[in-house]
């Protein structure tokens, strides 16, 4: 991994950043739970001083998905340079940093270990406090660092507790009531695949490569969402749980009967119809969740989407429309903070440090770590 390669992936500062307040707490955050090696320096005044995301996607693309052993090795090769350049780009040394934070799970354990051991070593060598961040909490709290509307416009604001969260990534699909740092109430979750997995698998069936979400999203913009009939699993049932495996099986069955080659029009229509079924399921389940939480003691007034799937234009637009119908505010992270990134881990580090949640005895990284166990 050359320095030049990593510089190309530098995210730089966020639009609208101001100079960091000298009194602010500075956190170095490290993320390595899947196929991004990322680090960021974020301060408690919500400034992102530097942010580097080294994506391994090109290394996994030829296998059609993330290969855990290759990911772990790539993290080892990248981590030192990513951290070094993150400090350099912010014009900081470790002496300026107040807190070190890293993902300690859930995720691919080889990768989690690399980032966690790096952070532990840095914290021990410099005597800085260390925060063990739950990756899902990173996604869940990042809209409090920076939030935008569905189109990505009107940035610069942030979300206040409590909020109703649709957390949709490659590995998870949950509806949560977020009451505070470490305070998560599970309202609903998938019974089988995650939404991201459904996007990735359908894209693979169509030969569209990995990751599938972005390409399906783009293709769907030129397609007809009513061209193919996909099921809407569980939508005729009460509750807030999801099931996406039936949608995936419907795609498989249809493509077996109508094998490649496919025209661009067919692929666009197929993507649009599949995506419409995922959107309908999300909106149906969220509608129930809104009804369930409306009477709660501190009812949420903001509807939030986070995780890699939060980049999806149709999901953002439909959720914004749903929120406005129910008199709620809609918020989402800016696009570059939806998929895995170090800034969300640094921000979760700031929020946990503020609550006194620092590591006091050795922490073992965890491949599984539900938010409700925080
Ligand atoms: O949060 P994330 O970066 O990694 C996990 O923690 O799993 O999410 C990655 C997932 C992948 O499944 C990817 O296909 C999906 O997010 N994704 C999208 C879009 N961009 C990324 N799904 C739908 N539409 C998108 N535009
Ligand atoms: Zn993630």
**pLDDT averages per 10-residue partition of the chain, 374 residues:** 47 45 88 97 98 94 92 97 98 98 98 98 98 98 94 78 97 97 97 97 96 97 98 98 97 97 98 98 98 83 98 98 96 97 98 98 96 94
Atom of ligand 1 nearest to the CA of 196: 12
CA of 96 to the centre of ligand 1 (A): 34
Atom of ligand 1 nearest to the CA of 311: 26
Ligand closest to the CA atom of residue 66: 1
- Four-way CATH pick for 3-146+339-373: 3.40.50.920, 3.30.420.40, 3.40.50.1820, 3.40.50.620: 3.30.420.40
Kindly list the domain boundaries of the chain, sorted by start residue: 3-146+339-373, 163-332
In this structure, what is the dihedral angle of CA atoms 114, 116, 122, 125, given to the nearest 10 degrees?
-100
Q: How many helices (H) and strands (E) does the chain have?
A: 11, 10
Atom of ligand 1 nearest to the CA of 218: 26
CATH superfamily of 163-332: ATPase, nucleotide binding domain (3.30.420.40)
Ligand closest to the CA atom of residue 194: 1
Cβ pair 318, 303 in contact under 8 A: no
Tell me which residue of 120, 158, 152 sits closest to 42, measured CA to CA: 158
DSSP H helices, 91-242, are 109-126, 135-141, 195-205, 212-221
**Residue 370 exposed, middle or buried by CB count within 10 Å (0-12, 13-18, 19+):** middle
Whether 163-332 and 3-146+339-373 are alike in CATH topology: the answer is: yes
The response to whether residue 196 sits with its C-beta less than 6 Å from ligand 1 reads yes
The response to whether residue 34 sits with its C-beta less than 6 Å from ligand 1 reads yes
Atom of ligand 1 nearest to the CA of 307: 1
CA of 106 to the centre of ligand 2 (A): 9
Say what the pLDDT of residue 123 is. Answer: 98
Strand order in the sheet with 130-134: 48-55, 36-43, 26-31, 99-105, 130-134
Pocket residue to mutate for ligand 1, from 309, 367, 371, most atoms within 8 A of Cβ: 309
In this structure, what are the phi and psi dihedrals at residue 84, rounded to the nearest 5 degrees? -60, -45
CA of 168 to the centre of ligand 2 (A): 9
The response to whether residue 105 sits with its C-beta less than 6 Å from ligand 1 reads no
CA separation for the pair 126, 97 (Å, rounded):
10
Ligand closest to the CA atom of residue 198: 1
Cβ pair 331, 159 in contact under 8 A: yes
The response to whether residue 65 sits with its C-beta less than 6 Å from ligand 1 reads no
Closest C-alpha to ligand 1, atom 10: 170
């Amino acid at each position: 991994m050359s320095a030049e390669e990593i510089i190309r992936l530098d995210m730089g500062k966020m639009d609208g950043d101001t100079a960091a307040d000298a009194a602010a707490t500075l956190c170095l955050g490290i993320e390595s739970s899947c196929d991004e090696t990322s680090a960021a320096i974020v301060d408690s005044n919500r400034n992102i001083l530097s942010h580097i995301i080294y994506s391994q996607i090109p290394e996994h693309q030829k296998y059609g998905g993330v290969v855990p052993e290759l990911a772990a090795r790539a993290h080892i090769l990248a981590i030192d340079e990513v951290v070094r350049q993150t400090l350099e780009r912010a014009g900081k040394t470790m002496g300026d940093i107040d807190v070190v934070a890293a993902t300690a799970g859930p995720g691919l354990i080889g990768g989690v270990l690399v980032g966690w051991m790096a952070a532990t070593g840095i914290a021990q060598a410099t005597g800085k406090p260390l925060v063990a961040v739950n990756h899902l909490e990173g996604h869940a709290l990042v809209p409090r660092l920076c939030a935008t509307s569905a189109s990505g416009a009107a940035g610069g604001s942030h979300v206040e507790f409590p909020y109703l969260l649709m957390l949709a990534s490659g590995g998870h699909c949950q509806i949560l009531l977020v009451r505070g740092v470490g305070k998560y109430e599970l309202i609903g979750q998938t019974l089988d695949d995650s939404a991201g997995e459904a996007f990735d698998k359908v894209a693979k069936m169509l030969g569209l490569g990995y990751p599938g979400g972005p390409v399906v999203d783009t293709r769907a913009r030129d397609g007809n969402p009513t061209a193919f009939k996909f099921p809407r699993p569980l939508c005729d049932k009460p509750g807030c749980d999801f099931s996406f495996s039936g949608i995936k099986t419907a795609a498989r069955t249809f493509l077996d009967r109508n094998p490649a080659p496919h025209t661009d029009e067919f692929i666009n229509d197929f993507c649009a119809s599949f995506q419409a079924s995922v959107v309908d399921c999300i909106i149906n389940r969220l509608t129930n969740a809104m009804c369930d939480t409306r009477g709660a003691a501190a009812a949420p007034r903001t509807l939030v989407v986070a995780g890699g799937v939060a980049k999806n234009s149709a999901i953002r637009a439909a959720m914004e429309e749903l929120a406005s119908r129910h008199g709620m505010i809609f918020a989402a992270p800016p696009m570059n903070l939806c998929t895995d990134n170090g800034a969300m881990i640094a921000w979760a580090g700031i929020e946990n440090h503020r609550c006194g949640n620092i590591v006091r005895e050795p922490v073992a990284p965890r491949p599984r770590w539900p938010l409700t166990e925080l």
